[in-house]
């Protein structure tokens, strides 16, 4: 008898770990699954972990990014590139502005920013510019924010900025580098099973192991949404008939037969086409509930756990389902 199931791998094993880098292994992966999981994890790590980025800055004495500042060796474009190499960690959730002021000739680094406790400079040795004149002065204001992925400057400009205030492409990520390796290993008599090794380098704002765990949760959440959606759309009851409740009578059997409707059409009805308030509709949509069939798979307690969904929304849903002769899962 040949096996019809896929062998499950081991849990992640820590090979080495510091504050900014980590190496982790999974053993016993079915043939081919090393690249399947490794590539998925790498892409999530690089694109979907929130971080702190610079969204705008102002260099005093410069009117635009093609300008230069007297007494400073680098032009503004070079300073922008240096600022992009600097890494910061915002303590709170709201955008904050921090300032650098230097008048001493020599190399000016990111560690000279005054943060006032609202942020942490993770790369204090990163050069920003060099003051070459004894009367030179460098003053830079940068605005930090938390976000996800990369946002082009065009999307960040909401209104006309003041003169000298420059909006830049924002990159929100705590990741410096992430890659993986796959090698074969022996499991029983077979030598084509996979060992997956994941390497993560961070800026120090989050530990590599926390980022790895977060990426796995993101992947699971995506699959969970897909699985829930399929359960809603492809239930076993697609061929069932639903009888609309009728008053009791001697001809109840005939009435029931005549009034039965195809359950498929009802279950496939999208929730945005039934009478629900905008708040309730948004809360259900955020939870991946798109159809009436998906809605009836939820319990009352399950719905009340959704963000933005309360007793008023629950009563609203129950009333709508009652009109269809349906109810929430018990």
**Residue, of 220 and 240, whose pLDDT is higher:** 220
Q: Could you give the percent of the chain with pLDDT greater than 90?
A: 47
Strands 96-102 and 138-147, how do they pair?
A: antiparallel
Say whether domain 13-49+175-230 belongs to CATH 3.40.50.970.
no
Angle at 156 between CA 214 and CA 116, to 5 degrees: 70
Is the pLDDT at 253 greater than 90? The verdict is no
Mean pLDDT of 91-110: 93
Q: Which residue stretches of the chain are H helix?
A: 33-47, 76-85, 153-156, 208-233, 252-259, 263-267, 278-286, 292-295, 300-304, 311-323
Strand order in the sheet with 96-102: 113-114, 96-102, 138-147, 51-59, 165-167
**Residue, of 232 and 222, whose pLDDT is higher:** 222
Structural contact between residues 161 and 168, judged by C-beta atoms closer than 8 angstroms: no
Token output for 252: 């109840």
CB proximity list for 315: less than 8 A, separation 6 or greater: none
Structural contact between residues 196 and 25, judged by C-beta atoms closer than 8 angstroms: yes
CB proximity list for 317: less than 8 A, separation 6 or greater: 276, 280, 295, 303, 328
pTM of this prediction?
A: 0.63
Round to whole Å and give the CA distance between 196 and 269.
43
Is the pLDDT at 292 greater than 50? The verdict is yes
CB contact burial 55-82 (16+ within 10 A = b; e otherwise): bbbbbebbeeeeebbebbebebeebbeb
pLDDT tens digits, one per residue of 123-160: 999 999 999 998 889 999 999 999 998 888 888 776 55
Is the pLDDT at 1 greater than 60? The verdict is no
- Can you give the residue ranges of every domain in the chain? 13-49+175-230, 53-172, 235-323
pLDDT of residue 281: 84
Structural contact between residues 222 and 47, judged by C-beta atoms closer than 8 angstroms: no
pLDDT of residue 160: 52
20-24, 228-232, 237-241, 284-288: which range is least confident on average? 237-241
Token output for 183: 């090698």
> Which of these, 135, 142, 150, 75, lies nearest to 104 by C-alpha position?
135
Adjacent-strand bridge partners of 262? 241
pLDDT of residue 264: 59
pLDDT of residue 144: 94
Mean pLDDT of 229-255: 40
pLDDT of residue 290: 77
Which homologous superfamily is 53-172 in?
DNA-directed RNA polymerase, insert domain (2.170.120.12)
Is the pLDDT at 248 greater than 50? The verdict is no
Round to whole Å and give the CA distance between 221 and 215.
10
pLDDT of residue 245: 37
Round to whole Å and give the CA distance between 154 and 126.
27
Say whether domain 235-323 belongs to CATH 1.10.150.20.
yes
pLDDT of residue 235: 36
């Amino acid at each position: 008898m040949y096996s019809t199931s896929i062998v499950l791998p081991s849990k992640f094993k820590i090979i080495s770990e510091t504050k900014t880098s980590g190496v982790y292994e999974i053993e016993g992966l079915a043939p081919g699954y090393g690249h399947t999981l490794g590539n998925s994890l790498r892409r999530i790590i690089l694109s979907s972990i929130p971080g702190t980025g610079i969204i705008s800055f102002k260099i005093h004495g410069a009117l635009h990014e093609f300008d230069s500042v007297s007494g400073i060796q680098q032009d503004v474009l070079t300073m922008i590139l240096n600022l992009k190499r600097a890494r910061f960690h915002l303590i709170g959730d709201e955008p904050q502005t921090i300032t650098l002021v230097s008048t001493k000739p020599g190399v000016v680094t990111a560690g000279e920013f005054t943060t006032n406790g609202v942020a942490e400079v993770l790369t204090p040795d990163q050069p920003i510019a060099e003051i070459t004149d004894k009367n030179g002065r460098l003053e830079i204001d940068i605005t930090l924010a938390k976000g996800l992925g990369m946002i082009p400057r065009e999307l960040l400009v909401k209104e006309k900025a003041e003169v000298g205030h420059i909006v830049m492409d924002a990159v929100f990520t705590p990741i410096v580098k992430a890659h993986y390796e796959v090698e074969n290993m022996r499991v029983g008599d077979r030598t084509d099973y996979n060992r997956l090794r994941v390497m993560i380098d961070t800026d120090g704002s989050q530990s590599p192991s926390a980022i790895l765990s977060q990426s796995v949760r993101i992947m699971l959440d995506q699959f969970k949404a897909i699985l829930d959606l399929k359960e809603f759309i492809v239930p076993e009851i697609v061929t069932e008939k639903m009888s609309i409740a009728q008053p009791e009578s001697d001809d109840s059997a005939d009435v029931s037969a005549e009034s039965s409707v195809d359950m498929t059409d009802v279950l496939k009805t999208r929730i945005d086409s039934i009478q629900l308030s905008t708040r309730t509709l948004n809360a259900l949509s955020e939870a991946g509930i798109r159809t009436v069939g998906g809605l009836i798979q939820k319990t009352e307690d399950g719905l009340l756990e959704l963000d933005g969904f309360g007793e008023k929304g629950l009563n609203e849903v129950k009333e709508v389902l009652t009109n269809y002769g349906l109810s929430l899962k018990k």
